[in-house]
């Protein structure tokens, strides 16, 4: 259980932060950037939920995702170094990816196939979900770069989860736009 007594500790005043497993890293470190970007996406999902409170099924999905994103942050802040830790680190697991896939399929079943790219926007919920989607894509780029950095690891399920999450957020944004009927589609060359 997490217990936060003091919000400020002054330990980060030197530009470093502590990973969950103990070591300190620069706040500009790629691993810190990755889980910080996940936190940013989580915040935009929270904003989107201000517009989905009357859509119980979607709001429940988004709430589960917000919790998963804290799991992902814990996963990323506890690198697998091969050392034995005094606790079992929290990791994203395949079942979380499978659940996202099922929820994508559920929402996508209500949507007509796309014949053009969708411009981000529409309803307030859709706009916030599109922003969250692009932030998740940035987090994924950080995670992929980190996974390819010597001495660093990212689990397969964590990478799969973040990849599926951006797909989920795209489909959810369309779904909140009147099941895609209110999507604004890209018209190539329209303003030439």
Report whether 185 contacts 111 (CB < 8 A): no
pLDDT of residue 115: 87
pLDDT of residue 10: 73
Cα(140)–Cα(37) distance, rounded to whole angstroms? Answer: 9
**Number of helical (H) and strand (E) elements in the chain, helices listed first:** 5, 4
pLDDT of residue 1: 56
Q: Is residue 184 within a helix (H) or strand (E), and if so which, with residue range?
A: strand 184-185
Would you kindly state where each structural domain of the chain is located, as residue ranges? Answer: 27-79+88-179
Q: Is residue 24 within a helix (H) or strand (E), and if so which, with residue range?
A: strand 24-26
pLDDT of residue 12: 63
pLDDT of residue 80: 86
Q: What is the pLDDT along the chain (192 residues), one digit of tens a residue?
A: 566 666 677 766 777 776 677 677 666 799 999 999 999 999 999 999 999 988 899 999 999 999 999 999 999 999 888 888 888 889 999 999 999 999 999 999 999 998 899 999 999 999 999 999 999 999 999 999 999 999 999 999 999 999 999 999 999 999 999 999 999 899 999 999
pLDDT of residue 2: 60
Residue 124 burial (CB < 10 Å; 0-12/13-18/19+)? middle
Cα(28)–Cα(39) distance, rounded to whole angstroms? Answer: 15
- Tell me the pairing of strands 184-185 and 16-18: unpaired
pLDDT of residue 168: 98
pLDDT of residue 15: 74
CATH class of 27-79+88-179: mainly alpha
């Amino acid at each position: 259980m997490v217990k936060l007594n003091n919000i400020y500790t002054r330990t980060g005043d030197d530009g470093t932060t502590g990973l969950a497993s103990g070591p300190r890293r620069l706040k500009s470190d790629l691993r810190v950037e990755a889980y910080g970007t996940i936190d940013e996406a989580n915040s935009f999902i929270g904003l989107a939920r201000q517009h989905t409170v009357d859509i119980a099924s979607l709001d429940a999905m988004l709430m589960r995702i917000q919790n998963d994103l804290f799991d992902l942050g814990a996963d990323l802040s506890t690198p697998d170094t091969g050392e034995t830790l005094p606790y079992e680190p929290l990791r994203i697991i395949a079942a979380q990816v499978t659940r996202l896939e099922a929820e994508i399929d559920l929402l996508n079943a209500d949507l007509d196939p796309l014949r053009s790219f969708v411009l981000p926007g529409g309803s307030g919920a859709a706009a916030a979900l599109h922003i969250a989607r692009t932030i998740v894509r940035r987090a994924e780029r950080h995670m992929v770069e980190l996974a390819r950095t010597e001495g660093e690891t990212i689990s397969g399920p964590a990478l799969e989860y973040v990849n599926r999450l951006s797909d989920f957020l795209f489909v959810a944004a369309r779904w909140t736009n009147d099941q895609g009927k209110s999507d604004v589609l890209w018209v190539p060359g329209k303003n030439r």
